[in-house]
Structure 1
Amino acid sequence: MPITDVHQDPEALTLTIVGECAASRTRLWEAWLDPRQLEQFWGPPTWPATFIRHETFPGGRSDYFMTGPDGSRAHGYWEFLSVDAGRAFEIIEGFAHEDGTVNDSLPHTRITVTFADLDAGSSFTAVSHFATLADLEQLVAMGTPEGMTQALGQMDTVLADLSSFAADRTVAAQILSDTQVRVSRVIRGTVDQVWRAHHEPELLKRWMLGPDGWRMTVCEVATAVGESYRYEWESDDGAPGFGFTGELVSAQAPYREVTTEAMIGMAGEPVRNDLTLSAVDGGTLLIQVITYPSAEVRDMVLATGMTDGMETSYQRLEREVLAAV
């Protein structure tokens, strides 16, 4: 992406970066919305980013880390102050400790990013607002202007591949760390519809079945934080049934919820599921970050064909639930 302007204004305490591209404004917006794409340009080439949480709604939060050439990590966060879908968002961006808590020893900035249509594409304008001149000078001395320019300059490659991201509507799993996996799927339906399908028992029983030949016999949904849920399945051919139970840890309907998950009858630490729904062109981007107790458990679950079962269920969701709405 051609970066057309980089401007520091010590009087206004701002750093402005402007870029233009041949892609549409909608495609450009979705590059920032989808963590799979965002992490390809939020971070200089030698410090690529990994987003383990990305919630593009007011009050949402993103957590990420950038990995250096020597394997060291620099952690950061975003707090979304406002979102005008497809046109603008405003965040607080700052540094974080390894556990995700805010690192107050370094400055944070308020960043506004706006998107505009051009005759031959679109543009973005990112304005970083600093609290004091000392904060601006400190981050400039740390190489922030050069780092952001290098990072955002990588966007051309991402934008050139946006069409394949939009067309790729099958479940994809990406290992983020020793214990975390990110599952992604674009679902043909609105955010509200997909949220309802995950929370109304009569809908869940129609699609959350995994491979053909299984039926959900118990569907107890948690409706408030702190409540427990319980799902059980049986096979038509008499194979042993199974089930999961867990607790609703937090919820921000219809965009995000966090739950724990444990297989009924199995000992061990539960899994943590962080589900986020975002509106994209033609559907809803579902992102689920799964945190396992260990790398061994992570690999064991992935080896069961988990993503194949999820894909079968999501196809059923589109075909038998959302298509009828």
Structure 2
Amino acid sequence: MKKYLTITVREQMQGMTVEKVLYDYLELTKKQVSRAKFRPDGICKNKVRCRVTEEVSMGDEICICLETDEIQSAQLVLAKIQGERLCILYEDEDILAVNKPAGVLTHPAGMHYSDSLANQVAAYFQERNLSVCIRPIGRLDKETSGIVLFAKNQVAAQRLQEQRETGVLEKQYLALVDGNLPKDQDDIWHTIDFPIKKIGNHPLRMEAVKKSSSAENEKYIAHQLTDYINCFQAVTHYHVLYSTDKWSAIKLKLDTGRTHQIRVHMQAIGHPLLGDSIYNTSTMNREQCTIYRAALHAWKVRLRQPFNGRKIELEVPVPEDFKKYGGFYVSSGS
């Protein structure tokens, strides 16, 4: 999808090179500027193609082409479920946010090569004659419902990824977990800081490596050190909204985004997600649970528009299969 940025030279920019204006005032990287050089009319001054070493004068108009229509996800099979079936929460020229239902993959995988969320987004863009490369910003497990963001151009994707890494882009989740967790007062969050590693050759299953301040013998210590070498840092924060003697409703936020992180961390502290067939083997889950997928929902996202910095906050309702449990009395300011 075509993406241009334009800036008019102000007094304080006079005498700078085009390149310096692009770096300092449009906050572009050397790689992004370098790519633009090879596009037709990629970098122009006053609508005439120019070199980045040229100096600018007050009132000059500098325009850079960050992406063309040639970049798209041609390898994606268009979903049989047409684009209008997407639940679109927000869209502008750089971002698309959709509400993913449980049971849908974010990306094609295995036998699901034409019915993922990415396939549906590709169909949506084609229906509108837009050539867009499908770039999800993070992803959700198949069983997880809620907000998924897509960037419409490479620079937006890079800036949103930076927001994720610095905590500017924050996603919050709602979950139902096994067992009783005491209800928290406002603004109280608990932290789970266990590294996560893969289990053997299993393609998805993970486990938490619990930190220990003491060990019975040197062999155990050596085993722990080996575990840490082969695992990934993972930090999860949770707040208890409501609890019964059998289950609790919580909200969560992450410092890291590892595969199955929430599911693994909640299992590690003895409160696995309801409906989780991989990490929850409790009697309650097998015999009394009436939710048939891992009970996790990405309900809120806060971010900034990647080019103008405007604050964006998105929220989706509690899914139907959660409602029978209740307990999700969350406010917009939470």
Query: What TM-score, normalized by structure 2, do the two folds share?
Result: 0.27
1 or 2, which has the higher strand percentage?
A: 1
**TM-score normalised by length of structure 1:** 0.27
